[in-house]
Structure 1
């Protein structure tokens, strides 16, 4: 097999190490890509720089597929900004929250609200958190519980949806690997088939209603719930001045109506399906380019409708609405740069034969059924260290798919393992943007949020690892079903054990 031996491992490993040290995905991806090109250019720096720009960056930008993805991301960014600033989500949530009068209803409502804001993983904490914060306080539910709920419905929901920024980004990474391996399959089809194997995100989402309905809290979360219930204190006493819960201003708009979020979403889906159905969707595969054109058109029409409604209800002027839309597009520049660097690093890794070298090392030494579990662990480590799911996907996907093909492992299971690992590490990491925003949006201390969420994340992560060992054998969705059953049993047993421990401690204190 053609490869550069140990040298072929340097670019991806360097990207990981620098991402851990710098906490900057762009710097890490750029450095890894440049070092790889330097090796390919026989260590001539001037030639390497020229090659990096002309044969990698420019090529990625002029590729029609890549250009389509970048344009779509811009339209998605503009639409998300309009939705977040219109005030429609707050107006809609307020209508729903009038019916909330129990702890169970409050938790399920916050969970449902997080799922409803599926189009923005960062918007979920900033929108849902401030709305439900006073409701949770009134019903004596801990702020830590609210932070966990919105963190569990931010990235985990977004990564499962193929027609928003997360899905488009992941499909872009998948398509590049398919093209290099001459796999004649749509990136959209592959993403959809991998959804049942996104085991960690699925467990994270389903765990919320499970806890809400059964009231089976455990570990640090149970202590936080007991604190609020018995003392009414919203936060743990702390002498550390840095450990103060942060508050954010509510993104409300005057005259906002629930239709500001409902109508644009209806337009988006109607437009999308009216374009896709004549192409045979969902019964026949739809080409990735056709799907992206349909999505871009849908987001454009939805944005136009939303701007018209914002002007009509006088929540914003046309000038303000248009500026919000453009600013939202501009925010996607960082994502676009990340994607271009990820594509470039993927090409460098292929030219160096990194996957071939890893395959040669693993072939005959590691059973193919272990590949998904290994990818999950590696993805979790990278994501935890960097706090970035997207950076993890960019580093891991160019390795995972070729390994799956050459070592006869399921491509869909391996894709699911990479995405699950990225989300698991993100949930455990205190430097993850969604972790920070979730604590801020809920008015909860960051350290308290990490401490209370970590046991839940570790439980889901452990179950997910076992499920990927099963999936490596079966390549079947039964692994996800088994994972869900294991979650129910584990939550029940842990809750009972923790409650007994707390009761024992309380009786000892009284005596």
Structure 2
């Protein structure tokens, strides 16, 4: 069943179940079982062995503890505890009161989230969670739905990381490009130079970033997002109260009335500073030879840095809690245990979904779904000018089906290099850019993507609500980018392709804006 059309069944089944049932764990479970059955050649005992092995592999790989996965889970739990103690110390309340005086519109609240998402570009995991923690008090006060916040977070995490050379994504992609250039004896530009030239060709990123600003300024609401936004504005409910949302504190915690903005800001600053500092430290430690900024980010240990930064943020938040208990007498120290449990419990839904997503991703990888899709690209005999478009579409499907953009990069980038070298070497950089863009789109929208899961967690939004409300905006951006890749394939002009994307988005803004105005006037 490996590397055949049957390998598409588990991801497609899981995604279809998500759409039909809106129950993500059930849907992922069905996908896991179907993948294990195919791998076991329909042996029931073999299926259980494969699932057990996949679960075990999450924590123990090649006889060693899989610290990467464990660190991500611990970071989520630590973030929940930090959030809990920020609330107990009165930081969230004080920050909300401060924000009311300065951010007075829904547009302004959305712009805060967008700008923070663009600024915090070091890593998509960290971006998704940190931006959510900072932005939630502001967007809640301005009655911006959690679904909208999750969309803004998700659209400024991976899209920014993939075009930033100084990020965990950028450094890894540059290293991949270097091997592709070396394998084809291309010496007219370096891997870094190639990456910088690819940035403006990543049309999906620019379409997506333009879209978030259009949505924020014009109030464009498409499909399911209308329901969430109207409920937030008319009823003051920023999330559907009937649906569970990861990252939300559900316990009635005691809150200090003597808290200040500093009770929220300083733990967040400590979290950011600790994580970035740890990334630099682990990157320097892992670099052999000349130490450069790119070398540091290529060799940094992201998950270890997350846990170190998280612990630093936790220590600072606990210091402010102790200050509230013993100095300001704002809260009772007995709330400590309740705060730890409330924070931990708030992140458990995200942990469960992440574990299921990791298992199905592992099984889909064993089924070689990505290789099967990549093989379709290699066997196509269409006009080479369509190569960027074809690679973009295949990367979209691959990342959406597998829930990983990085896996799609690793498989498709070398193949894109081989095809471009064999057909038209002038299409090499557009082909690589199309792969990166398509993989980000697929990962951006996939319900089994860890980045999508963490974005909904950071925003405190029901995961499936986030997936369904984000999808229409992302698809519009993807279709716009696809047209741009047709232009760049036939003309070779990046400027003309960007102009095409801009014109399409301007037309969309005019049409969507007029419809929005018409609905508001009714």
- TM-score interval (norm. to shorter): 0.5 to 0.7
Give the TM-score normalised by structure 2: 0.62
Corresponding position of 1:20: 16
How far did residue 473 of structure 1 move?
A: 6.8
How many residues in Structure 1 have an aligned counterpart in Structure 2?
Answer: 455
Structure 1 residues 311 and 174: CA distance shift in structure 2, 3 A: farther
Structure 1 residues 473 and 65: CA distance shift in structure 2, 3 A: farther
What is the root-mean-square deviation in Å for CA atoms of aligned residues?
5.9
> 3-state DSSP class of the match of 2:60?
helix
Does residue 276 of the first structure (1) align with residue 293 of the second (2)?
A: no
How far did residue 414 of structure 1 move?
A: 1.3
Deviation readout 1:178-231 (Å, 9 max, x if unpaired): 9xx9x99xxxx9xx9888776546544443444555x5858889999xx99xxx
Does residue 234 of the first structure (1) align with residue 234 of the second (2)?
A: yes
CA distance in 1, matches of 2:63, 2:487: 39
Deviation readout 1:293-337 (Å, 9 max, x if unpaired): 444433333333333333333477554555467657865354245
Corresponding position of 1:140: none
Corresponding position of 2:477: 460
How far did residue 417 of structure 1 move?
A: 0.6
How far did residue 150 of structure 1 move?
A: 1.2
How far did residue 70 of structure 1 move?
A: 1.0
Deviation readout 1:134-172 (Å, 9 max, x if unpaired): 445xxxxxx5xx556413322223334769xxxx9999x
Corresponding position of 1:258: 265
1:54-93 to 2 correspondences below 5 Å: 58=57, 61-63=60-62, 67-85=66-84, 86-87=86-87, 88=91, 91-93=94-96
Corresponding position of 2:308: 297
Deviation readout 1:11-68 (Å, 9 max, x if unpaired): 2333312441365224314422441342xxxx66656765675699659832489823
How far did residue 73 of structure 1 move?
A: 0.9
Deviation readout 1:277-303 (Å, 9 max, x if unpaired): 574241436554645444443333333
CA distance in 2, matches of 1:312, 1:347: 52
CA distance in 1, matches of 2:215, 2:375: 45
1:77-156 to 2 correspondences below 5 Å: 77-85=76-84, 86-87=86-87, 88=91, 91-101=94-104, 104-109=107-112, 111-112=114-115, 119=126, 121=128, 128=135, 131-136=138-143, 146=145, 149-156=148-155
1:2-401 to 2 correspondences below 5 Å: 8-21=4-17, 23=24, 24-38=27-41, 46=45, 50=49, 58=57, 61-63=60-62, 67-85=66-84, 86-87=86-87, 88=91, 91-101=94-104, 104-109=107-112, 111-112=114-115, 119=126, 121=128, 128=135, 131-136=138-143, 146=145, 149-160=148-159, 199-200=203-204, 202-210=206-214, 212=216, 215=218, 234=234, 253-254=255-256, 255=259, 256-276=263-283, 279=287, 280-284=291-295, 286-288=297-299, 290-314=301-325, 319-320=337-338, 322-323=340-341, 331-332=350-351, 334-349=353-368, 354=372, 357-359=375-377, 361-362=379-380, 367-375=386-394, 378=397, 391=403, 400=412
The unaligned stretches of length 5 or more in structure 1 are: 137-142, 237-241, 384-389, 507-511
Q: Which residue of 404, 414, 439 corresponds with 2:416?
A: 404
CA contact (8 A) 2:389 2:486 kept: yes
> 3-state DSSP class of the match of 1:153?
helix
How far did residue 105 of structure 1 move?
A: 3.5
Deviation readout 1:80-131 (Å, 9 max, x if unpaired): 2134322345544543432234565444345446778984747867874564
How far did residue 493 of structure 1 move?
A: 3.0
Structure 1 residues 395 and 109: CA distance shift in structure 2, 3 A: closer
Structure 1 residues 65 and 345: CA distance shift in structure 2, 3 A: farther
Range that drifts further, 457-466 or 399-408:
399-408
How far did residue 488 of structure 1 move?
A: 5.3
Q: Which residue of 431, 435, 438 corresponds with 1:414?
A: 435
The unaligned stretches of length 5 or more in structure 2 are: 19-23, 184-191, 326-330, 421-427
Structure 1 residues 421 and 122: CA distance shift in structure 2, 3 A: same
CA contact (8 A) 1:463 1:486 kept: no
Corresponding position of 2:425: none
CA distance in 1, matches of 2:233, 2:346: 38
CA distance in 1, matches of 2:65, 2:113: 36
> 3-state DSSP class of the match of 1:157?
coil
CA distance in 2, matches of 1:106, 1:55: 42
CA distance in 1, matches of 2:82, 2:492: 39
